[in-house]
Amino acid sequence: MQPTLQKCTKKEINTLRQISIETYYDTFASMNTVETMQAYLEIVFSKDVLEQELDAKNSLFMFLKK
C-alpha cells in the first residue's frame, strides 16, 4: 500500500497535540528552562488553540497515512 497524505481533522486533535508537543520539546528543550517549556507547551499546543488553527483558512495539518 502506498503512503498518502491526509488532512488532519478535529477527531485527530489528540494525536496532533501529542506529536506537536513531542516535536517542539525534542527540538527546543535544551535551550529553555523546564518552567518556560511547560508554560509554552500548555498555551500553544492546547486543544483550543489547535482547533482554532485547524479552522483557520490558511492553515493546514497533514498526517502521513499508510
Collapse the DSSP code of 17 into the 3-class scheme (helix H, G, I; strand E, B; otherwise coil) and give the result.
helix
CA dist 66 and 3 (Å) reads 4
pLDDT attached to residue 17: 97
CA–CA gap between residue 27 and residue 22 (Å, rounded): 8
Q: Please state the φ and ψ torsions of residue 56, each to the nearest 5 degrees.
A: -65, 135
The CATH number of the domain holding residue 55 is: 3.40.630.30
26: cell is: 525534542
Give the model confidence (pLDDT) of 12-60 as tens digits.
999 999 999 999 999 999 999 999 999 999 999 999 999 999 999 999 9
Q: Determine the structural domain holding residue 46 and report its residue range.
A: 4-65
Number of structural domains (the chain) is 1
